[in-house]
Amino acid sequence: MANDIAQVTGVTGLTYGGNRPGRVFEMHPADAAAAVKAGGAVASLAGVTRRAIGYRCDCGFRPVVRTCSRCGGAAVRE
């Protein structure tokens, strides 16, 4: 989900709004699964995410979304 999105309506019809940095949403599980499938990241309130959550790009970078922010290539789930 891009930083310029003001609000998102999930597959359940619930709306999650505001593009404030650092904001965490408590989402319905179906909406959360759809957001991750669309390339969103799983939030970790502990401050550290598992390596299994991320993706691996051919350039060696480990982005948290499907499109590598370093080279622009397509990353695959680890």
Q: Tell me the pTM.
A: 0.45
**Average pLDDT value for residue range 36-56:** 70
- Look at 14-28, 31-45, 49-63 and tell me which has the smallest mean pLDDT: 14-28
Sequence ranges of the domains in the chain:
1-40, 48-78
% of the chain exceeding 70 in pLDDT:
69
Q: How far is CA 11 from CA 1, 3, 8, 38, 72, in A?
A: 14, 20, 10, 12, 28
- Confirm if 49 and 35 have CB atoms less than 8 A apart: no
DSSP for 19-45, written as a single string: --TT------HHHHHHHHHTTPPPP-T
Q: Are 31 and 14 in contact (CB under 8 A)?
A: yes
**30 vs 40, residue with greater confidence:** 30
* CB neighbour list of residue 46: distance below 8 Å, 6 or more residues apart: none
